[in-house]
DNA sequence: ATGAAAGCGCTAACAC
DNA sequence: GTGTTAGCGCTTTCAT
């Protein structure tokens, strides 16, 4: 048994042709007799020949692979985005290398190095930080689309949600419910997402003429659920505690819910909550979670399409897309959830979508 | 501005050496003067040179990449496994290509083709089916470790949880609570996981001398949450409905919980539930979820280590590892959760671990 | 329409 | 210790 994988040479020999012709068949070149073409195909089938991407990539300098670098593979936001990216990629003949940095800038760099040396066609990147990027690694000849997080020190294409608008709507919802003291638990300010969501929070308060109480704004290390929990406990333990909470990302929401539960508080009687980012189990919580939902899958497809466009035309000017978010109001008693559009209004969006929810 | 990436030749020229020497430096070869070594390194730094993995791979026939093929990237089970794989991989200088088949055997094949032609060092695979694998694709020269799901038609290494034992313990727990009519909602039987968990269910009943009521066993298309929901509704609507439910995987659990909620039933008063596979939000549900927990991260690290071992020694006999599972009993009132070891007892496992849980 | 041959960037004998 | 050289498997002129 021959342990060696068959090469193009083997195919050529067995078909009594040259490797050039085999290559032409493989690449759908016009100048090939149908007769020859079928013969080559037969031999390929027979030998179970599979072209080496390595060799091809080395020669052509292009590989049909795109890289996706995310910071938390456990986060529903990113896995959902990934599916979007993947669908567009595979539909266009690209395969996907997915890498998880765990919010570690060094791992991010390492993976970028890998992708450079693998010569991938393009990269979609949710960077662990906003600035401090080596232009050589990030601004090189390989196209990069920044996902979810703004990168300000290198000119790139961007795809992200309308964080400010989403946060503003979330807080306005709480305001409309009559809350006057609304706490914010967010992440550190290294990431634009955290800052933008805080911006939305502040805008909403300002628009209602409410003062900003710094004591109600907390930052948690958003990788450590326990830290969010602690911040929430602090907030709830204040002499004059907030009546509502806005949590700026999934991990913070998790920690906050844990804290609320520990304190034996009930939502919404004791404390109201609106979360940024929906979660798969949101409707099963008690009460079901009200959240600003990002169009995660579309974020993924959009980023992938943008990357493909840039691969096709490296010279097009950098573009930036903000996707509209929706506030998903789940009502525990009303047997329904309301979907309210959010952020920069877009004409073609439904004003209110209604989905039947669970009884309780 | 030179758009071309610098090559080894460029480095060699600028350093006044041959490419062979540069290569030696890069690969930590002994026969290099320290003086030369530092000079080369300086030039590399200066030129921002990065070796091409493509060329290297083509030449050496090995690439420091391992592939992980999973069937559902949205599933916590797999993302957690992925982190385990990733940690071991990167610790050993490998990068990870992650591919998502969406339970589609054709996508699985396509990705395997990709990995073959990328010449990856090895593959960890959660296959979409038990049999029907092309030995050419699955039994070729590239090492494969089967993860989570048994592959019976090709001899491979296996790493998976003790499904039978886990399911048996789950059902025994329900029996110990006094339940006599226990429903099972599982997946189709194409996958060994579903069959094995049913096996455990049946064993537990048999050991208690209870009859098997086929009406209480339901199969759902486990990709469609709504199907599980429907099966659960059916079960709950029976003239003589079960008093407890055992759900065999996460998606089924999701559908079942939705159904229970729709029916306005309360756990555990109206219906008891034990799930196979824990979920991140399990402790936030009301009541918190009792589940058989798989050691997901360890499943990943174990599979990766097994793969590395096989890469190092392709001739070692195929081995199969079953990891022990634990029943995680979360009690809503008792302010604590109990961890009971499950499956083939292993001596060094703690008998009972206690974690403080939330008040309610 | 097909073949010969060069070369992509790297490694590994083999010389010296 | 360092250089020379021959490929790895493929694509792509340039001939024919």
Residue A122 has pLDDT above 80, yes or no: yes
pTM: 0.88
Give the residue with minimal CA–C1' separation from C7.
A59
CA distance A104 to A53: 30
**What is the Cβ-side half-sphere exposure of residue B227, based on CA atoms within 13 angstroms?**
12
Q: Which nucleotide is nearest to A119 (CA to C1')?
A: C9
Collapsed DSSP state (helix, strand, coil) of residue B192: helix
What are the residues facing B356 on neighbouring strands? Answer: B336
Residue A137 has pLDDT above 60, yes or no: yes
pLDDT of residue B335: 37
What are the residues facing B120 on neighbouring strands? Answer: B63
Contacts of residue A110 in chain B, CB cutoff 8 Å? Answer: 90
pLDDT of residue A336: 41
Facing B358 at nearest CB: one of A51, A261, A360: A261
Residues B124/B305, Cβ–Cβ less than 8 Å: no
CA distance A116 to A95: 16
Interchain contact, A116 vs B50, CB within 8 Å: yes
**Which residues of chain B carry a pLDDT beneath 50?**
1, 334-338, 340-360
Within 7 Å: CB of B56 and strand C? yes
Within 7 Å: CB of B62 and strand C? no
A317 Cβ neighbours under 8 A, 6+ residues apart: none
Residues A272/A260, Cβ–Cβ less than 8 Å: no
CA of A7 and C1' of C2: distance in angstroms?
A: 20
B338 CA: distance to closest CA in chain A (Å): 18
Give Cα separations from B275 to B165, B194, B237, B316, B326 (angstroms): 14, 13, 20, 37, 12
Q: In terms of CA atoms, which chain B residue is nearest residue A258?
A: B284
Give the residue with minimal CA–C1' separation from C3.
A18
DSSP state of A244: E
What are the residues facing A293 on neighbouring strands? Answer: A326
pLDDT of residue B355: 33
What are the φ and ψ backbone dihedral angles of A70, each rounded to 5 degrees?
Answer: -120, 165
* Tokens 């390492």 belong to residue: A110
Facing A95 at nearest CB: one of B48, B114, B281: B114
Residues A357/A283, Cβ–Cβ less than 8 Å: yes
CA distance A295 to A298: 5
Residues B131/B146, Cβ–Cβ less than 8 Å: no
Residues A345/A327, Cβ–Cβ less than 8 Å: no
Interchain contact, A360 vs B264, CB within 8 Å: yes
Q: Which nucleotide is nearest to A52 (CA to C1')?
A: D9
* A188 or B329, higher pLDDT: B329
Tokens standing for residue B143? 């090492």
CA distance B134 to A2: 18
CA of A59 and C1' of D13: distance in angstroms?
A: 14
Collapsed DSSP state (helix, strand, coil) of residue B280: coil
Is some CB atom of chain A closer than 8 A to the CB atom of B358?
Answer: yes
A157: nearest Cα among A308, A353, A2: A308
CA distance B76 to A283: 17
Contacts of residue B264 in chain A, CB cutoff 8 Å? Answer: 359-360
Give the residue with minimal CA–C1' separation from D8.
B59
Facing A285 at nearest CB: one of B55, B258, B285: B285
CA distance B88 to B84: 7
How many CB pairs (< 8 A) connect A and B?
Answer: 141
* Tokens 């589940």 belong to residue: B291
CA of A2 and C1' of C3: distance in angstroms?
A: 28
pLDDT of residue A350: 35
- Which residues of B, range 288-327, sit inside 8 Å of A by Cβ? none
Q: In terms of CA atoms, which chain B residue is nearest residue A297?
A: B74
Is some CB atom of chain A closer than 8 A to the CB atom of B118?
Answer: yes
DSSP state of A219: E
DSSP string, B155-191: --EEEEE-HHHHHHHHHHHHHHTT---EEEEEE-TTS
A140 CA: distance to closest CA in chain B (Å): 9
Residues A285/B286, Cβ–Cβ less than 8 Å: yes
Within 7 Å: CB of A31 and strand C? yes
pLDDT of residue B218: 96
Residue A190 has pLDDT above 50, yes or no: yes
Contacts of residue A266 in chain B, CB cutoff 8 Å? Answer: none
Give the residue with minimal CA–C1' separation from C12.
B20
A180 CA: distance to closest CA in chain B (Å): 27
pLDDT of residue A335: 37
DSSP string, B295-337: -HHHHHHHHHHHHHHHHH-TTSPP-EEEE--EEEEEETTTTEE
B207 Cβ neighbours under 8 A, 6+ residues apart: B168, B172
**Model confidence pLDDT, tens digit, residues A254-295:** 999 999 999 999 998 999 999 999 998 898 998 899 999 999
pLDDT of residue A207: 96
**Model confidence pLDDT, tens digit, residues A214-243:** 999 999 987 788 999 999 999 999 999 999
Strands across the sheet with A182-187, in order? A217-220, A182-187, A244-247, A272-276, A291-293, A326-330, A336-341, A353-356
Please confirm whether the linkage preceding B287 is cis (ω < 30° from 0): yes
CA distance A102 to A248: 19
pLDDT of residue B287: 87
What are the φ and ψ backbone dihedral angles of B118, each rounded to 5 degrees?
Answer: -85, -10
pLDDT of residue B3: 65
Collapsed DSSP state (helix, strand, coil) of residue A195: helix
CA distance B263 to A360: 8
Tokens standing for residue B278? 């824990």
DSSP state of B145: E
Q: How confident is the model at residue A358 (pLDDT cuts 50, 70, 90)?
A: very low
Q: What angle, 0 to 180 degrees and rounded to 10, lies between the N-to-C axes of helices A296-312 and A76-91? A: 40
Is some CB atom of chain A closer than 8 A to the CB atom of B47?
Answer: no
Interchain contact, B53 vs A118, CB within 8 Å: yes
How high is the mean pLDDT of chain A?
88
**Model confidence pLDDT, tens digit, residues A23-67:** 999 999 888 999 999 999 999 999 999 999 899 999 998 888 899
Contacts of residue A63 in chain B, CB cutoff 8 Å? Answer: 54
Which residues sit close to strand D, CB under 7 Å?
A 4-5, 7-9, 19-20, 22-24, 26-27, 50-52, 55-56, 58-60; B 16-21, 24, 31-33, 35-36, 55, 58-59, 61
Q: Across chain B, where does the E strand assignment appear?
A: 63-70, 95-100, 120-125, 144-147, 157-161, 182-187, 217-220, 244-247, 272-276, 291-293, 320-323, 326-331, 336-341, 353-356
Contacts of residue A80 in chain B, CB cutoff 8 Å? Answer: 74
Interchain contact, A281 vs B254, CB within 8 Å: yes
């Amino acid at each position: 048994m021959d342990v060696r994988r068959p090469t193009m040479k083997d195919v050529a020999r067995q078909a009594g042709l040259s490797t050039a012709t085999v290559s032409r068949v493989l690449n759908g070149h016009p100048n090939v007799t149908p007769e020859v073409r079928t013969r080559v195909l037969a031999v390929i089938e027979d030998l179970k020949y599979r072209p080496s991407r390595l060799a091809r990539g080395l020669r052509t300098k292009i590989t049909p692979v795109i890289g996706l670098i995310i910071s938390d593979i456990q986060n529903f936001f990113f896995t959902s985005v990934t599916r979007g990216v993947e669908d567009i990629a595979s539909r266009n003949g690209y395969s996907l290398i997915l890498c998880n940095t765990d919010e570690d800038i060094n791992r991010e760099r390492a993976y970028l190095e890998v992708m450079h040396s693998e010569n991938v066609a393009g990269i979609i990147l949710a960077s662990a930080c906003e600035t401090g990027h080596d232009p050589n690694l990030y601004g090189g000849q390989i196209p990069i689309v920044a996902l979810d997080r703004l990168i300000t020190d290198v000119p790139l294409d961007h795809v992200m949600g309308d964080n400010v608008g989403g946060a503003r709507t979330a807080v306005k919802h709480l305001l409309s419910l009559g809350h006057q003291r609304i706490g914010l638990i967010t992440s550190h300010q290294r990431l634009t997402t955290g800052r933008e969501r805080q911006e939305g929070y502040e805008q909403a308060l300002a628009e209602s003429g409410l003062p900003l109480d710094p004591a109600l704004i907390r930052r948690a290390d958003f990788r450590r659920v326990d830290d969010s929990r602690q911040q929430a406990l602090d907030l709830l333990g204040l002499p004059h505690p907030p009546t509502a909470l806005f949590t700026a990302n999934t991990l913070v929401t998790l920690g906050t819910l844990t804290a609320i539960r520990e304190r034996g508080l009930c939502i919404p009687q004791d404390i109201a909550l609106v979360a940024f980012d929906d979660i798969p189990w949101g409707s099963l919580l008690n009460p079901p979670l009200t959240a600003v939902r990002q169009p995660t899958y579309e974020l993924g497809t959009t980023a992938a399409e943008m990357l493909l466009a840039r691969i096709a035309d490296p010279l097009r000017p950098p573009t930036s897309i903000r996707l509209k978010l929706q506030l998903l109001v789940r009502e525990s008693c009303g047997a329904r959830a309301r979907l309210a559009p959010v952020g920069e209004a877009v004409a073609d969006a439904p004003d209110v979508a209604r989905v039947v929810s669970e009884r309780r």
